[in-house]
Amino acid sequence: MNLSDILNLRSSIKYPHTIRVLSEAYGADDAFCIIYEDTGIWRVYYVERGIKSFQKEFKAESEACEYLYKLISEYGLLNR
């Protein structure tokens, strides 16, 4: 799974605005976020009221995207 797959999933998500692909570590709230940093690290987390949770770092895009998919699945956001 890659970032393109995640973006394509947005049409299958109950609340598509809850998935954010960010280029910087700010600007989202009440959302699942995936960020690629210049250091080569992918960060995935959920942010609500400015507090990040479920935060993990990955070296591979595929691992980060699979973790994000797992989070949105467990939250029951997929229309399946």
Rounded to whole angstroms, the Cα distance separating 56 from 37 reads 13
What was the pLDDT predicted at 56?
A: 97
Each of the 80 residues of the chain gets a pLDDT tens digit; together they read 888 888 777 777 765 566 666 655 556 677 888 888 889 999 999 888 888 899 999 999 999 999 998 988 887 766 65
Rounded to whole angstroms, the Cα distance separating 29 from 23 reads 15
What was the pLDDT predicted at 33?
A: 86
- Note whether 46 and 54 are within 8 A (CB): yes
Q: Which domains does the chain have, with CATH numbers?
A: 3-74 (3.30.505)
What was the pLDDT predicted at 22?
A: 61
What was the pLDDT predicted at 62?
A: 96
